[in-house]
Structures are given as C-alpha cells and as structure tokens.
Amino acid sequence: MEIAEAVKSSRLPGFYKLSLAERVAMVAEWAELCDAEAAVLAGDGLQPAQADLMIENALGTYALPLGVAANFLINGRDYLIPMAVEEPSVLAAVSHSAKLIRAGGGFTAEASEPVMIGQIQLLDVGDGSAADMAAAALALDTHRDELLALADACSPSIVRRGGGARGIEVRPFSDTPVGPMLIIHLLYDTRDAMGANAINTAVETIAPRVAEITGGRTNLRILSNLTDRRTATARGRIPAAELTLPDIPGDEVARLVAEANAFAVVDPYRAATHNKGIMNGIDAVCIATGNDWRAIEAGAHAYAARDGRYRALTDWYVDDHGDLCGEMTLPMAVGIVGGATKVHPTAQVAMKILGVESAGELAAVMACVGLAQNLAAIKALATHGIQKGHMRLHARQIALAAGATDGQVQAIADRLVAEGNIRVERAKELIRN
Ligand code: MEV
C-alpha cells in the first residue's frame, strides 16, 4: 500500500493488514509525528516516574491497546481517531460504520458553548418557608453581577480566553430528608478546558458570599457532571443500498436498525446496553486523549434519564428516501488543555493525530464516534448477531492468554474458531502440540 496515497484521507484500506511497525509509520506520516512521538505510539509512553507525579501510592503504569479508527469524515474534514480500549471489535466496528456514513456524505456535528454548572447547596434559609426561599433567590438575583465578578476573579486566564461566569440560577427543594434547601447553579464557560478545577474554585470562592447574602448556610460546592448546557450533537445518513448484506436487502437492514433503536427508546433494560455500546467508542477516545471518562459516563447516563425514564441516547429512523438516518446529542465536557491531556505523553500524541483545535471540535468528534459505534452494534445485532465476529477476535485473546507466541496467535485462534471451542485449555493443548 502506498502511504502517500492515503495522506489527508482517513480512508486507509488494508491498514489492518499492515504490521504494527508499518501502521505506526503510516500514522506518523499522516499526522506528521516526530520520531519521539512515533516512539510513544510504539510503546514508549507514560513512564513510572511520571506516574509517580500523577497519583499517590504509585507502583507503575497500566497499559491498554491503542489504535486508530479510520474512515471518519466529519463536517467535510478527515480524522483518524485514536482509541484506547481492551475490547476486541470496537475499532473495526466503528471504522466500518464511519465508512457507511461517509458514503452518505459524512457526519455533521457540532458542540454547544462549553458552559458547565457549579452547584452550591444552601440550607437553613430563614424558616425554610416558600416565602423565605423566594426572598433568598431574589437577594441572589440582586447580587448577581457581584457574584459573577467574584467567580471571574478566580480564573483570569479562562476569562482572558473569552470564558468565565455566565449566570446564576436557583432551584428550590422544599421537601428533602434534611429539610428545605436551595441549590444555586453557577453557569461557567470553561472554553477549551474541561474546567473541573475552574468551576470548583469558583463555587468555593463565591459560597461564603452566597451565605452572607441569603443568611443561609452552605454545604457542598462542586461541579455537576450532568453538563446539559455543554453538549455535542452528531448526525449521519447511510444510503439504504450501502447497507445491503449478501442475504438482506439494504432497505430491510435500515428498517431493522430503526426497530432496534425503538427497543432502546422504550425499554431501560435495553437502553443501558445500547448506551453502553455508544460509550465503548466515546470512552476509548476519552482515555486515548487523557480526558475524564468517568465524568463523560456520568453525564451521558444522567442525560439519558432526563425525562424521568432512562432511554436510548440515539435516534435512528428511515427517511422518506428509505435511507437510514441517525442523530445523537449528549453532554460532552471534554478539554484540550490542562489535566492528563497535557501530562500523559500518549494523550499528547493522540491529540496530535486527532488534530482538533478546540474542545468543541473534540466534543463533536466524540459524539460522531459514539453514533458510529452504536450503529455498528445495533446493525450487527439486528442482522447476524455479534457473536460470530466477536468470537473470532476473542479467540486471539484466548490464544494470547494461553501463552501463544506472536507467530502462533492467529493460527491458534483460527483453529479454536474452526473447532467452535474457544477455551484457554484447548489453546494450551494446541500450543503444546
Ligand atoms: C458490547 O460491548 C456492546 C453491545 O452490547 C452494545 C449493544 O448491545 O448495542 C454490543
């Protein structure tokens, strides 16, 4: 395969057939990585001494497979998507879906303004009556500009970059196990940072003044991971003909996918698994880029239950032309400055491969990855099931676990699949023989 041919397009036919070293070389050329950055991909990543500075009681590091997903065309631009994940099939599946969506013109995606929510819990407001709560809310509104200025003073660098405090909202809860409370939301634009530190500093700073203004007592002061003001949206369309399988016409595949989505819209038991499939992709990009995947997980699942019933994050439907269309919006508090993004050497290289210029662009890309990952899962489930393909990849892990050498892994895995007996004991026997 000519490397030069593929440059600037994320279509990398035959990429999976290359050796590890050839893949690293190709991605290095694609993303214009220097030798040191390419060496990071080849295994020269986070060192124990760096880990020791990142967490307490460090012992060493924990590695995960890192790959790139191909075929992503988003808002007219090609992306190679770095993903760190231990689960077989994830990269192949998402690349396949991205290719299908590419055939329909690629993804369109966007992110909202990066407005986060910091929460302050206020108790002992007057006698807890509705009138006293309303008076406290009014007092906070009167002092709105002063509180916003106080919050802005905490992080001048974010304010310089155009971010900062945007508003104050008050939510009364009259009936809680500990009596009435007011929850104050500080809306805060964190620009290209995920912003947890900026938000937490801001709410801790304004809390004493909030207590003075209202005569109440503050307890918790912390950001909310339900970042429903900071969302990303992805859309894709697949011409029905592209979905054609040897034994199922494309328009039928489109209908089966829409039916699968409807299952996850009405049934929380299915929705949990459906959304897990979305997060398979999003988490892998979060991890590769050094973002806080627990925050993204928390936000996604809370958002999926925003109507009071947990449901699918995606919407897949057949349009008037018989084509399959998909759309998803979800909270996406990711950053490209600060945190592990700038400390972890592999995250830095992953960011360079991705080539995004803002947190909003990263959020939009991640939403596309989630939508594509979901399509791959429900298309497989709605047609031939996932186990056949999955077991083929699983067999390689079993062969590895049984102690197969690099040269033996594929042959042992093929034999396990052919025998329909994908077990470590059998793999060990095959290695011995
Ligand atoms: C497995 O990791 C993810 C799936 O279960 C997602 C789904 O069921 O939609 C295949």
Ligand 1 near 378 CB (within 6 A): yes
Ligand 1 near 94 CB (within 6 A): no
Two tokens, residue 129 = 């009556």
Ligand 1 atom 2, closest CA: 277
Ligand 1 near 276 CB (within 6 A): yes
Gap between the Cα atoms of 335 and 332, Å rounded: 9
Ligand 1 atom 7, closest CA: 274
* Residue 390 is among the residues annotated as catalytic for this protein: yes
Ligand 1 near 264 CB (within 6 A): no
Average confidence (pLDDT) over 339-362: 93
Ligand 1 near 386 CB (within 6 A): yes
Q: What is the pLDDT of residue 194?
A: 94
Residue among 277, 289, 281, 294 at smallest CA distance from 192: 289
Ligand 1 near 277 CB (within 6 A): yes
Ligand 1 near 409 CB (within 6 A): no
Q: Is the predicted pLDDT of residue 3 greater than 80, yes or no? A: no
Per residue in 68-106, is it b (16+ CB within 10 Å) or e — as a string?
Answer: bbbbbbbeeebbbbbbbbeebbbbebbbbbbbbbbbbeb
* CB count in 10 Å sphere of residue 390: 15
Ligand 1 atom closest to Cα of 280? Answer: 2
Q: Is the predicted pLDDT of residue 429 greater than 50, yes or no? A: yes
Q: Is the predicted pLDDT of residue 364 greater than 70, yes or no? A: yes
Distance 371 CA to ligand 1 centre (A): 13
Q: What is the pLDDT of residue 109?
A: 98
Gap between the Cα atoms of 48 and 152, Å rounded: 37
Q: Is the predicted pLDDT of residue 363 greater than 90, yes or no? A: yes
Catalytic residue among 87, 228, 297, 315: 87
Residue among 302, 308, 324 at smallest CA distance from 371: 324
CATH class of 5-110+233-383: alpha beta
Q: Is the predicted pLDDT of residue 79 greater than 70, yes or no? A: yes
* Residue 276 is among the residues annotated as catalytic for this protein: yes
Q: What is the DSSP string of 132-176?
A: HHHHHHHHHHHTHHHHHHHHHHH-HHHHHTT-EEEEEEEEEE---
Q: Angle at the Cα of 176 (from 174 to 179), degrees rounded to 5?
A: 70
Work out the pLDDT band at 320, boundaries 50, 70, 90.
very high
Work out the pLDDT band at 8, boundaries 50, 70, 90.
confident
Least confident of 38-42, 192-196, 341-345: 341-345
Q: Quote the percentage of the chain above a pLDDT of 70.
A: 98
Q: What is the DSSP string of 185-215?
A: EEEEE-TTB--HHHHHHHHHHHHHHHHHHHT
Q: Which one-letter amino acid corresponds to residue 206? A: I
**Tens digit of each residue's pLDDT (9 = 90 or more) over 173-202:** 999 999 999 999 999 999 999 999 999 999
Helix 144-154 / helix 196-214 crossing angle, nearest 10 deg = 150
Residue among 100, 64, 82, 108 at smallest CA distance from 28: 82
Q: What is the DSSP string of 7-18?
A: TT-S--TTGGGS
Work out the pLDDT band at 6, boundaries 50, 70, 90.
very low
What is the side-by-side strand order in the sheet with 108-111? 108-111, 231-238, 324-331, 314-318
Is the domain 389-432 a CATH 1.10.8 member? yes
Residue among 36, 4, 42 at smallest CA distance from 21: 42
Entry pTM: 0.92
Q: What is the DSSP string of 104-135?
A: TT-BEEEE---EEEEEEEEE--TTS-HHHHHH
Q: What are residue 295's phi and psi, to 5 degrees? A: -65, -40
**Tens digit of each residue's pLDDT (9 = 90 or more) over 217-228:** 999 999 999 999
Mutation to probe ligand 1, out of 96, 256, 381 (largest number of atoms < 8 A from CB): 381
Q: Which one-letter amino acid corresponds to residue 263? A: F
> What is the overall mean pLDDT for the chain?
95
Which residue is associated with the tokens 């009259």?
174
Average confidence (pLDDT) over 372-391: 91
Choice between 253 and 338, residue whose per-residue pLDDT is larger? 253
Q: Quote the percentage of the chain above a pLDDT of 90.
A: 90
User: Please, which residues have CB within 8 angstroms of residue 139's CB and are 6 or more apart in sequence?
Assistant: 213, 214
> What is the CATH T-level fold of the domain 115-223, as seen in this structure?
Alpha-Beta Plaits (3.30.70)
Average confidence (pLDDT) over 86-99: 96
Which residue blocks in 340-386 are alpha helix, DSSP H?
340-343, 345-354, 359-382
Ligand 1 atom closest to Cα of 277? Answer: 6
Q: Is the predicted pLDDT of residue 39 greater than 50, yes or no? A: yes
Two tokens, residue 30 = 């694609």
3-state secondary structure of 368: helix
Q: What is the pLDDT of residue 71?
A: 98
* Distance (Å) of CA 184 to CA 218, 276, 318, 344: 10, 32, 42, 35
Residues of the chain within CATH 3.90.770.10 domain(s) are 5-110+233-383
Residues of the chain within CATH 3.30.70.420 domain(s) are 115-223
Gap between the Cα atoms of 161 and 40, Å rounded: 31
Residues paired with 42 in a beta bridge: none
Q: Is the predicted pLDDT of residue 1 greater than 80, yes or no? A: no
